[in-house]
Amino acid sequence: MTTVNMLEAKNSLSRLVERVASGQDAEIVIARHGKPAARLVPIQGAAGAGQRLGVARGRFVVPDSIDLSAAEAAALVDGLPPPADA
């Protein structure tokens, strides 16, 4: 178990989070005035960045042409049918 003071934790939070997330430290205790005040621990089962791909699969359809005119884009934003000349 690693213990750091509040100032060190403030100045190197990213490094401390990386150490916990990578498993280098199971937990890091943050002390205030020499007394434990908080624990930094990894979240169990947290989704990694690689697991986010495809989270919206099946929720919408990408049209064949994604290049819209300004009028078509405005109609979509306003919830109106696309203009007839589109």
Give the chain's domains with CATH numbers.
Answer: 2-40 (3.40.1620.10)
Residues 57-68: pLDDT tens digits? 788 777 777 777
Task: Give the chain's mean pLDDT.
Answer: 84
How many helices (H) and strands (E) the chain has is answered by: 3, 3
Across the range 9-38, mean pLDDT stands at 95
Q: Which residues contact 3 (CB under 8 A, 6 or more apart)?
A: 28, 29, 30, 31, 36
| pLDDT confidence band for 55 (50 / 70 / 90) | confident
